[in-house]
Amino acid sequence: MYASRLPYDSTRIRAAAVYCSDGRIGEHFDDFLQNCLKLPRYDRVALPGGPACLAAHPEAHLEEQGVVDELKFLVEVHELRQIVLIAHQGCAFYTNRLGLTEPRLALVQKADLVRAAAFVHRVTGLDRIDAYFARLESDARSVQFDQVTV
């Protein structure tokens, strides 16, 4: 058995993030959202490709329905006011499922963030939707989060 000794805070931050489930950058997402955006205890919606499923790709139609349902639930029950969308460089969802390669890959991902933000606004009614693109710095020692204007 294991008992986590991390402190528990029951108050909600009323923000959620939609990002890729790739475990190699999960802690970077946490670091960025908690320490840069100041969103401790944010709600997590993680799945392969993250917000890619909200950009109207037919290959992700089933995921789209699921994520829209989850976001509507969180808006209603957790009283979300803010949603953060994050795509990441070299995402396997794009390379494998959609068959894209660089340099077009990153361009499609950023365009998808804009499209996903508009879609999330439409289905949730929230105005505060931000988008970021996470990329590995050339020295591979840090992950940079660039804001994408939506």
> What is the spatial distance between Cα 83 and Cα 77, in angstroms, rounded to a whole number?
14
Toward Zn ion, which CB reaches closer, 13 or 134?
Answer: 134
CB of 127 to Zn ion, least distance (A): 27
CB of 2 to Zn ion, least distance (A): 29
**Chain residues that interact with Zn ion, rule: CB under 5 A:** 20, 22, 91
> What is the spatial distance between Cα 72 and Cα 34, in angstroms, rounded to a whole number?
23
Toward Zn ion, which CB reaches closer, 63 or 75?
Answer: 63
Nearest Cα to Cα of residue 64 among 72, 55, 74, 53: 53
CB of 93 to Zn ion, least distance (A): 5
Q: What are residue 59's phi and psi, to 5 degrees? A: -65, -15
CA 34, distance to chain mean position in Å, is 14
Toward Zn ion, which CB reaches closer, 14 or 44?
Answer: 44
Burial of 51 (0-12, 13-18, 19+ CB in 10 A): buried
Residues in the chain: 150
Amino acid at the residue 1: M
Toward Zn ion, which CB reaches closer, 94 or 119?
Answer: 94
CB of 92 to Zn ion, least distance (A): 5
Amino acid at the residue 19: Y
CB of 120 to Zn ion, least distance (A): 18
Toward Zn ion, which CB reaches closer, 75 or 87?
Answer: 87
